[in-house]
Amino acid sequence: MAERDLDIVLFGATGFTGGLTADYLARHAPARLRWAIAGRSQEKLEKVRDQLAGIDPRLEAMELIVVDAASRVELERVVARSKVVITTVGPYLQLGEPLVAACAATGTDYVDLTGEPEFVDRMWLAHHATAAANGARIVHACGFDSIPYDIGVFHALQQVDTSVPVRVRGVVRSNASFSGGTFHSALGAFSRARQMKAAFAERRRKEAKPVGRSSRAVAGKPHRDPLLGYYLLPLPTIDPQVVARSGAALPAYGPEFRYSHYAGTKTLRYAAGGALGVTALALAAQVGPLRNLLKSKVPQGEGPSPERRRKSWFTVDFVVESGGRTTRTRVSGGDPGYTETAKMLAESALCLAFDANPVTSGQVTTATAMGQHLLTRLQAAGIRFEVLTP
């Protein structure tokens, strides 16, 4: 990649989360970063550049790249110039594949915010081999899906003995509102349960398994956690799949790694309400007109006010059982769906562009591709990784 004239190209900067990502880069990226923003509208891109120049006057000269996102030729021409591509343009199942394909073909590293399991599995089936052959690192789920869990477990396992079987449960809590993009993706996933299951099964048949080791996500059951004091509700998200894939790829996770993923509430009433809400949403997603009505109520591309985001927070508690000992760690930060997600995504791209990461390629997880370097970056950026018990 030495001859590439850009370090990062950002797709989606004219949207809400993409705009926050651009803002973060403008404020926190090193001065040596060579980056550009790409999209369909010159006028919208110019507005974003004007806003960024208000943060850093040097960005008045930022390159704007107008590109047809449906044109494979145009996309390959653009991404071949850059070390890393960032995209916040979703829903990814409908809009994301051309950019993944272009990055795989040109050996360009790629990061996104997807939490869509079917999209991730279909991209592995279609483009992992090409990316691996060309040296591209395709890293999905680089926001709140799934960095706090993937890098959180990576951090937690540094505190325990992994020469023996390890059991981890992650418990997430937050007061934040979810994003329109997340809501639309969730509805899409619920409406395509059969297709999602088929893609997962096909990938599982074709993907190599670790030799002499095992790593699995274990679906838990609703219960009260006596250690944490929360009622736990299993979360049907992509996060446990991502963590388990890191466990399969990294021998440091030990001979037998198991991970379960939950939302935690203080009262049984909230736990029951959450379970009913998820069930109702899944049923509504099966009916086209009702699904479209729900989407219209929570539009994409919009988000909460800065004041609301400043009041938002998240925590993820990890309980690790290993060798007869129980260890607790925690990851925590501010507004998860927007502010911290933009931070995680931007730092992931900077990590791929500049850090001496482990040698890997193909579709890989954040822990596999970046591991300790990304953990260090996130800590420096203000996301807290704590050990609560030895």
Query: 160 and 120, same structural domain?
Result: no
78, 312 Cβ separation under 8 angstroms: no
Domain limits for position 158? 147-335
Residue 1 covered by a domain: no
CA distances from 273 to 177, 242, 277 (A): 16, 27, 6
Residue 76 covered by a domain: yes
CATH number of the domain encompassing residue 53: 3.40.50.720
CATH number of the domain encompassing residue 273: 3.30.360
Query: 327 and 310, same structural domain?
Result: yes
Residue 29 covered by a domain: yes
Query: 165 and 107, same structural domain?
Result: no
pLDDT digits (tens, 9 = 90+) for 136-171: 999 999 999 999 999 999 999 999 999 999 999 999
Q: What are 314's strand-pairing partners?
A: 174, 333
Q: What are 258's strand-pairing partners?
A: 167, 216
Query: 133 and 28, same structural domain?
Result: yes
Give me the pLDDT at residue 182, please: 67
Query: 78 and 56, same structural domain?
Result: yes
Listed residue (31, 35, 29) closest to 13, CA to CA: 35
Residue keyed to tokens 């992992």: 128
Domain count of the fold of the chain:
2
Query: 278 and 188, same structural domain?
Result: yes
DSSP tag of 141: -
Give me the pLDDT at residue 8, please: 98
Query: 138 and 178, same structural domain?
Result: no
Query: 220 and 85, same structural domain?
Result: no
Residue 385 covered by a domain: no
Query: 252 and 118, same structural domain?
Result: no
Residue 126 covered by a domain: yes
Query: 289 and 163, same structural domain?
Result: yes
Residue 303 covered by a domain: yes
Confidence (pTM): 0.93
| Token pair of 108 as six digits | 């360009």
Query: 330 and 203, same structural domain?
Result: yes
Other Cβ atoms within 10 Å of 325 Cβ, number: 13
Other Cβ atoms within 10 Å of 133 Cβ, number: 13
**Helix H or strand E encompassing 139:** strand 137-139
How confident is the chain (390 residues) per 10-residue block, as mean pLDDT?
87 95 98 97 98 97 93 94 96 94 98 96 98 98 97 98 98 82 69 90 96 95 94 92 98 98 81 59 66 68 82 97 97 95 98 98 98 98 92
Angle subtended at Cα 345 by Cα 204 and Cα 318, rounded to the nearest 5 degrees: 65
Residue 386 covered by a domain: no
pLDDT digits (tens, 9 = 90+) for 37-54: 999 999 999 999 999 999
Query: 201 and 134, same structural domain?
Result: no
Residue 388 covered by a domain: no
